[in-house]
Amino acid sequence: MKRWSSKTVTLLIVIILLAVNSGFLFSYYNFYLSDKITSDMVSAKDKNHESISIITKSIEGKSFDDALDLIKLYIDNNGGYIILKDINGKTIYTNNKDISKLFSSTATINIAGSDYELTYSNVLVTPGNNLVRNFVLYEIIIVSCVIIMLFFISSKQLINPIDTITKDINAYKFGKRPFKRKMPKNMQQIQNAFVDMVDSLELEKENQNQIIASISHDIKTPLTSVIGYADRLKNSNLSEDKKQKYVDKIYNKALTMKAVLEEFDDYQSCNIKETLKLEKVTIKSILEYVKKDFEDDLLDKKIKLSIKTNCNEKSVNVDLVKLKRVFSNVITNSVTHFKGNEGVINVNITSQANLIRFEIADNGGGIADEKDLKRIFEPLYTSDPSRKISGLGLSICKQIISSLDGRIYAKNNSIGGLSIVFVLPKA
């Protein structure tokens, strides 16, 4: 069953209240107010005629001055307004010149042998006076109730989501993660933003835990070896050659631990987005660096390095130290995945429109599962099922290339291995 939104419910309540109010007004007027006003008009008219009749009898046979005094006395005692006019329409006396606007009665009376026109109005019995006042009062009460109800509904619509978000925030302090909910639009945006923030924090926390586990794993193994070799060195019967051998092993294991910590430092450095030291660098100088730094070492490992380009004189704006780190991490990653076969690493740089494309390809076996191609740049992710924890090298590469306004991705290539491709804007 589809749930109605709070706006729809509020609108429906307003329509119902307006319909009820309209029905009340219609019924009140047709079945009570109109009859009551008619009845009051008849009663007021009879009262006016009765007052005129009393005045007429009281002034019978009196002089004009005495008659006028008696009329004033009646008004003082009984209230009301009068206008006394002669037969020519001239006003002889009045206590309210606007009496014509009131509900009044008029009659011809005789004072001292002359005819006069007397108009009288008793304001205390003006028809509908109290009814209209009561009607307005009732309407004010109804409108006030509608306003209070709408205010209450609106307040609930605002306060309830705020209360829910507050509870989610407090619950998160104790480890309970929030989730996205249906709320009024603005409140839902705040709730969803909070949930997204929590998801990001939890992901970052998970990455931190993985990094700690990775460092612990990568240091524990060589550290165990160091302790073992150091324990053997306590044996005084060892030959000098044996002692030197163990010292060398301890030194090499220490270098391994140092490399792990340096990689972690590099990851942190890239993660906080240090200020880039950009410079305009030609493709030719980049390739000279690659050849100089890697060719001999790769040959010692029986790995052939091939370098090709069609854009020697083109340039890119890069932080050269960080770009060298990208080449080092990618080539090192390729070397670790050769499995006995004769290794090949091809570096190919091409110019494409406003971009320079870099491809570093190897024949180390590639990645069987296409899903892993999208994930190898995640911190500590590995596609090798034999190892549950990996390094940060390719993740560092992605951060560096992204900071240079570039893009990096991986794909399986035609020589039976993996290609790491990244593109950078031309200078």
82 phi/psi in degrees, rounded to 5:
-135, 160
Asked if residue 55 is part of any domain, the answer here is yes
- Of 239, 254, 271, the one marking the end of a domain is 271
Whether residue 297 sits in one domain with residue 245: no
Q: Mean pLDDT, to the nearest integer, of 339-362?
A: 90
pLDDT per position as a tens digit, 8-17 = 666 677 777 7
Task: Look at the chain and report how many structural domains it folds into.
Answer: 3
Same domain, 293 and 420: yes
pLDDT at 217: 66
Mean pLDDT lowest among 111-125, 238-252, 355-369, 393-407: 111-125
- Residue 239's domain comprises 190-271
Which position has the token pair 């209360």? 163
**Do residue 284 and residue 233 come from a single domain?**
no
Question: What is the C-alpha separation between 132 and 11, in angstroms, rounded?
Answer: 30
The neighbour count for residue 358, using CB atoms within 10 Å, is: 25
Per-residue pLDDT band for 388 (boundaries 50, 70, 90) equals very low
Strands (E), 55-210: 81-86, 91-94, 105-111, 114-121
Residues 322 and 359 in one domain: yes
Closest CA to 281 of 332, 321, 329: 321
**Confidence label for 386 from pLDDT (cuts 50, 70 and 90):** very low
What's the CATH number where 51 sits? 3.30.450
At which residue do the structure tokens 């490399």 appear? 259
Residues 417, 311 share a domain:
yes
Q: Output the DSSP codes for 304-333.
A: EEEEEES-TT-EEEE-HHHHHHHHHHHHHH
The mean pLDDT of the chain is 80
Residue 211 pLDDT: 72
- Whether residues 294 and 260 share a domain: the answer is no
Give yes or no for residue 92 having a pLDDT over 70.
yes
The pLDDT value recorded for residue 156 is 66
- Do 213 and 332 reside in the same domain of the chain? no
Same domain, 243 and 289: no
Cα 36 to Cα 127, 140, 240, 252, 408, distances in angstroms: 8, 21, 127, 110, 88
Reduced to 3 states (helix: H, G, I; strand: E, B; else coil), residue 407 is strand
* Any domain includes 153: no
Crossing angle of helices 240-271 and 185-233, in 10° steps, is 170
Q: What CATH number corresponds to the domain at position 201?
A: 1.10.287.130
Tokens 């794993």 belong to residue: 217
d(CA 101, CA 184): 55
Query: Could you tell me whether strands 418-425 and 355-362 are parallel, antiparallel, or unpaired per DSSP bridges?
Result: antiparallel
What is the pLDDT averaged over residues 110-115? 85
Look at residue 274 in the predicted model and tell me its pLDDT.
60
Q: How many CB atoms neighbour CB 69 within 10 A?
A: 13
- pLDDT band with cut points at 50, 70 and 90 for residue 288: very high
More confident residue, 134 or 321: 321
- The identity of residue 120, as a single letter, is Y
Going by DSSP bridges, is the β-strand pair 407-412/418-425 parallel, antiparallel, or unpaired? antiparallel
**Same-domain status, 221 and 303:** no
Q: Residue holding tokens 């893009």?
A: 407
CATH code, domain with 366: 3.30.565.10
- Which two tokens mark 348? 């190919």
Percentage with pLDDT > 70 across the chain:
83
Q: Report how far Cα 8 is from the mean position of its chain's Cα atoms.
A: 22
Q: How many Å apart are CA 305 and CA 316, to the nearest integer?
A: 23
* Residue 134: inside a domain: no
Listed in sequence order, the DSSP H helices in 234-351 are 240-271, 283-300, 320-336
Phi, psi of 343 (to 5 degrees): -80, 145
Find out whether 51 and 122 touch, Cβ atoms under 8 Å.
yes
The DSSP H or E segment spanning 205 is helix 185-233
Lowest mean per-residue pLDDT among 107-116, 183-192, 249-258: 183-192
Q: Which one has a higher pLDDT value, 299 or 24? A: 299
- Closest-CA residue to 305 (of 324, 290, 322): 290
The per-residue pLDDT for 409 is 93
Does residue 332 share a domain with residue 254? no
More confident residue, 130 or 174: 174
pLDDT band of residue 269 (cuts 50, 70, 90) is: low
233 and 316 belong to one structural domain: no
For residue 338, give every residue at least 6 positions away whose Cβ sits within 8 Å of its Cβ, in sequence order, or none.
301, 303, 362, 364
104 and 39 assigned to the same domain: yes
CA–CA dist 124, 54 (Å, integer)? 18
Q: Which long-range contacts (CB under 8 A, 24 or more apart) does 255-261 make?
A: 256/218, 256/222, 257/218, 257/219, 257/222, 257/223, 260/215, 260/218, 260/219, 260/391, 261/215, 261/219
Mean pLDDT, residues 63-89 taken together: 87
Q: What is the rounded average pLDDT of the residues 116-133?
A: 67
* pLDDT: which is higher, 245 or 128: 245
Domain-located, residue 132: no
* pLDDT at site 7: 62
pLDDT of 392 over the 90 cut? no
The values of phi and psi at residue 409, to 5°, are -155, 170
Q: Is residue 343 helix, strand or coil?
A: strand
Average pLDDT over every residue of 325-342:
82
Say how far apart CA 301 and CA 163 lie, in whole Å: 65
